[in-house]
Amino acid sequence: MKVHHLNCGTMRAPGGKFLDGQPGLLRRSELVAHCLLIETGDGLVLVDTGFGRKGVANPGGWLGTPFTLMVGAKPVEVETAAHQIEALGHKLEDVRHIICTHLDVDHAGGLADFPHAVVHVRTAEHDAATSPSNASEKFRFRANQFAHRPLWSQYDEAGDEWFGFQAVRELKGLPPEILLVPLAGHTKGHTGVAVDTGDGWLLHAGDAYFFHGQMDPVKPHCPPGMTVFQNMVQTLRKPRLENVERLRELSREHADEVTVFSAHSPVEYQALSRG
């Protein structure tokens, strides 16, 4: 399988050093929306979708004005998954499957660009996003992003083991080299997506963590502003912190077999997209 690393939504949040650890307080830091496009023998698979074309046309209405202001999101057409897929010579209909790490606006914003694709998601995430039970869920998930009635394929907690992680699931209609790796915390049904490239595993950890330094095997670290932000947007604190530790252990003990990366680190994205 061939894997493309795509940035499907640049964000420039205020905070400078407090968010990215680099000098300067008055500048804006940069985050990406790191998505994967996987070429299989039976069509394309997209992992997360970024802001989407409707996010470009109407950022406040599609993504929510509070979100766009908070993260400094200014979506552009050339960064949409749809544009980048077409630029690679594919048709949008070639995307037969989408796997969502979770359904926050910057991960599910492009679902409507691929209404024919099967959308794979954990049941807990689907239920929280489509039938929110509290004010927090109503605020963070955008009902308009699911109004086209995606072709959901849902997964419960049963599953196998993968490098010590439990309840890992193969996906219906997809090859066994692509797996769901549950990583609850940021949201109830948050999941990682593992891909066996033939040269080792990639683990897209979604928003299980945000800053590359959190995976440092010797001296893990995170700027204070980013730590505060992760605490603000978490749903389940204890599982989230436990999963960060487990991901760090995985990255340290199996570095030759598994490459772990998050959805928003520009450092990790640049390293992988160059490779």
In this prediction, residue 194 carries a pLDDT of 97
Record the pTM: 0.97
8-state DSSP, 198: S
C-alpha distances in Å from residue 177, one per residue of 81, 99, 164, 193, 250: 22, 13, 17, 10, 18
Please tell me the distance from the alpha carbon of residue 85 to that of residue 267, in angstroms, as a whole number. Answer: 23
In this prediction, residue 168 carries a pLDDT of 92
Which is it for strands 34-40 and 28-31: parallel, antiparallel or unpaired? Answer: unpaired
Q: What percent of the chain has pLDDT over 90?
A: 95
Element (H, E) at 67: helix 65-71
In this prediction, residue 121 carries a pLDDT of 98
Give 3: exposed, middle or buried? Use CB within 10 Å, 0-12, 13-18, 19+.
Answer: middle
Question: Is it the case that residue 157 has pLDDT exceeding 90?
Answer: no
Determine the residue type at 264.
H
76 pLDDT tier (thresholds 50, 70, 90) = very high
In this prediction, residue 274 carries a pLDDT of 85
Question: Is it the case that residue 1 has pLDDT exceeding 90?
Answer: no
Question: Is it the case that residue 184 has pLDDT exceeding 80?
Answer: yes
| Secondary structure (3-state) at 46 | strand
Residue 138 belongs to a domain with what CATH number?
3.60.15.10
Please tell me the distance from the alpha carbon of residue 109 to that of residue 8, in angstroms, as a whole number. Answer: 10
179 pLDDT tier (thresholds 50, 70, 90) = very high
Least confident of 54-58, 59-63, 136-140, 202-206: 136-140
* Average pLDDT, integer, range 71-83: 97
Question: Is it the case that residue 275 has pLDDT exceeding 80?
Answer: no
| Secondary structure (3-state) at 251 | helix
- Cβ 128 vs Cβ 137: under 8 Å: yes
8-state DSSP, 4: E
Side-chain half-sphere exposure of 96, counting CA atoms within 13 A: 13
* Average pLDDT, integer, range 131-160: 94
Query: Tokens 């692509």 map to which residue?
Result: 178
- Cβ 75 vs Cβ 7: under 8 Å: no
Mean pLDDT of the residues in the chain: 96
Element (H, E) at 232: helix 224-233
Element (H, E) at 245: helix 237-253
Each residue's pLDDT tens digit, 16-46: 999 999 999 899 999 999 999 999 988 999 9
Domain that holds residue 99: 2-273
Please tell me the distance from the alpha carbon of residue 257 to that of residue 195, in angstroms, as a whole number. Answer: 11
In this prediction, residue 158 carries a pLDDT of 81
225 pLDDT tier (thresholds 50, 70, 90) = very high
How many CB atoms neighbour CB 161 within 10 A? Answer: 9
* Average pLDDT, integer, range 69-78: 96
Number of structural domains in the chain:
1
Residue 97 bridge partners (DSSP):
45, 118
Query: Tokens 């790490």 map to which residue?
Result: 101
- Cβ 36 vs Cβ 204: under 8 Å: yes
